[in-house]
């Protein structure tokens, strides 16, 4: 059974700092990995999707990497801003279309 772990569970940083969120998964037979953002009381917004054949994806200040063989992904946020405060979730999807989500990392960026 696929298990997805996100460490740390919570992170607090001052504004402007670069930071890395971690996601690990136990079964490397994945089709893709997706990073989401969830604001309090809201749904999930897709940030980046990495196909299993890719090593990384970038969108603005966000960069996600994937090392399928070691079962790890990182989400790098450059020059963090208070508006980045949210919970970040990763989800891995198998070839059969089954997705497993991590519990998320709650990020607080202090002004």
Partner 1 sequence: NAGVTQTPKFQVLKTGQSMTLQCAQDMNHNSMYWYRQDPGMGLRLIYYSASEGTTDKGEVPNGYNVSRLNKREFSLRLESAAPSQTSVYFCASSLQGVVEAFFGQGTRLTVV
Binding positions for partner 1, rule: CB under 8 A? 4, 31-32, 34, 36, 41-46, 49, 89, 91, 93-99, 101-104
Q: Which residues pair with 56 in a beta bridge?
A: 65
Closest CB to partner 1 among residues 89, 109: 89
Minimum Å gap between C-beta 31 and partner 1 is 5
Closest CB to partner 1 among residues 45, 70: 45
Minimum Å gap between C-beta 14 and partner 1 is 27
Closest CB to partner 1 among residues 67, 103: 103
DSSP string for residues in 53-110: T-SEEEETTEEEEEETTTTEEEEEE-S--GGG-EEEEEEEE-TTS-EEE---EEEEEE
Minimum Å gap between C-beta 101 and partner 1 is 4
Closest CB to partner 1 among residues 80, 91: 91
Q: Which residues fall within 8 angstroms of residue 107, CB to CB, at 6 or more apart? A: 10, 11, 12, 13, 19, 21, 77, 80, 84, 85, 86, 87, 88
Minimum Å gap between C-beta 22 and partner 1 is 15
């Amino acid at each position: 059974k696929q298990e997805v772990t996100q460490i740390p569970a919570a992170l607090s940083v001052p504004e402007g700092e670069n930071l890395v969120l971690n996601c690990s998964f136990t079964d490397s037979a994945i089709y893709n990995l997706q990073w989401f953002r969830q604001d309090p009381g809201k749904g999930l917004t897709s940030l980046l999707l990495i196909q299993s054949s890719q090593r990384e994806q970038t969108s603005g200040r966000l960069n996600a990497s994937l090392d399928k063989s070691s079962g790890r992904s990182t989400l790098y946020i450059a020059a963090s801003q208070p508006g980045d405060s949210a919970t970040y979730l990763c989800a891995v999807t198998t070839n059969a279309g089954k997705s497993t989500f991590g519990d998320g990392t709650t990020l607080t960026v202090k002004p």
